[in-house]
Chains A and B, each alone.
Chain A
């Protein structure tokens, strides 16, 4: 659809209806080859690729709430792979390539829309960093362009590029293959496909302990009784510190609330995704017509799924600075999730000091885009006991060796 296309059909009428039950809720068995803790996008994708790529189907996904009711239900669905370092390009670009064939692979609509992502630069340092990132991306085979302010305006006509605002737009990076997808459909697609292959989806089952004997994990304690496990794969996002702590494993994570909001439904006005680290906001327009906006985390640690209003206020003033046309839009709804932040803004995916216990966490504000990629690599790690080459750089040991993958520049407010 062209940016200025107008439709007389109300927004949202083309969306598929809510489906009937896509998987049957399972009763927990007494033992599984693999128990996955956490039924968010990552846990579900891992289950799917364990079954599909490795033929391991004696798998349970244990979820303390309802399936994909955590950050998977709360994120703003930005998908991109334009991170700075080679290690990041490896795993995020692997994910983006999988996204490009995922609807077909899962046989389920995901509303995956490659409408591009713009990352705006507002200072000379921003410009230098951005151009450097474009060059790094290209060397890694990731599509990336540097756009002048006029080209930014061509891609997204509602961005204010006048030079007399507080933080003028000096240009931006553009990744045309980036975009958004419908997060719930992604979760349901993975859950259905994994369940079809024999994986048990067990909801309202909170893991309350990990059984460790002689340095090896042997099972989990849950609110629905003990379950023995050959291997345990953690995918608990914001609660990773708590769950890993049951096995005495400490992780370099801090859990913070991250908020987002939507406006009322509007005519299509915003054709792409715009992010700005400097003014601290990002915006896209969902298929139904809501403007979807977010910003950075709340500063203080918290496991409350809500954040402070002053963070929203700041993010709204930043949005108005970039998009004066939003001045009369109304906020419909705000919400928060709990995200697990690492010191280098990169995830932790791999082995732990406890045998047969694996960890996937630390995706912080940006793990939705990685869902198929990390599911693929984490499944490999769990199935073979060795990290996949694409997640090997994201080991827990890197905090001891010092080989960090510092993505603060590409991941600060940018999800």
Chain B
């Protein structure tokens, strides 16, 4: 089980959280203007790297707030957590 450091509550068991998938995916500004190809990209395609991944978590059984994390999907190590709206931290 992951130990996830909620930016507000500190480290808690993964079982307290809900996963939200890739972070920083913006809703298209003008969806009607998109081609089918672009709409498909937005709807169905998410990054799936083996390595650093910026993702969303919600602390559902705690403060109930959403936040972002950068986790290495090859090792599960969490390198950073940050609040929604903040830029993705650069990991050396």
Contacts and interface: CB of A to CB of B under 8 A. Distances in A.
B44 A399 contact: yes
Contact of B53 (A299, A301, A308): A301
Contact of A302 (B43, B44, B76): B76
Given A301-B48, A399-B40, A400-B36, A310 B15 contact: yes
A255 B74 contact: no
A301 B78 CA distance: 13
A253 to B, nearest CB: 5
A241 interface: yes
A185 to B, nearest CB: 30
Interface string A232-253: 0000000101100000001111
Interface in B27-72: 36-37, 40, 43-46, 48-50, 53, 55, 71
A343 B44 contact: yes
A83 B13 CA distance: 36
Contacts of A2: none
Contacts of B74: 303-304
A400 B40 contact: yes
Contacts of B40: 252, 399-400
| From B19, B50, B74, residue with most partner A Cβ within 10 Å | B50
Given A308-B14, A310-B14, A400-B37, A300 B48 contact: no
B84 interface: no
B19 A300 contact: yes
Given A310-B1, A400-B37, A252 B15 contact: no
Contact of A304 (B14, B37, B44, B75): B75
A303 B49 CA distance: 9
A254 B15 CA distance: 20
A251 B46 CA distance: 8
B21 to A, nearest CB: 7
B36 A304 contact: no
A302 B73 contact: yes
A303 B73 contact: yes
A401 interface: yes
A335 interface: no
Interface residues of A, number: 23
User: Which of B19, B44, B53, B75: most chain A CB closer than 10 A?
Assistant: B44
Interface in A290-327: 299-304, 308-310
Nearest to B57: A300
A302 B69 CA distance: 14
Candidate in A241, A301, A399 with the most chain B CB atoms within 10 angstroms: A301
Given A303-B50, A304-B76, A401 B36 contact: yes
A399 B36 CA distance: 9
B26 to A, nearest CB: 18
A310 B1 CA distance: 7
A254 B73 contact: no
Contact of B45 (A250, A304, A308): A250
Given A301-B53, A310-B14, A254 B21 contact: yes
B44 A239 contact: no
B12 to A, nearest CB: 12
Contacts of B55: 300-301
B73 A301 contact: yes
Contacts of A250: 45
A302 B19 CA distance: 12
B68 to A, nearest CB: 13
Nearest to B48: A241
A242 B53 CA distance: 13
Top 8 A-B pairs, shortest CB-CB distance:
A241-B48, A299-B19, A252-B44, A308-B1, A400-B40, A310-B15, A399-B44, A303-B50
14 contacts: A239-B50, A241-B48, A252-B45, A254-B48, A255-B50, A299-B19, A300-B2, A300-B14, A301-B21, A308-B2, A310-B1, A310-B14, A401-B36, A402-B36
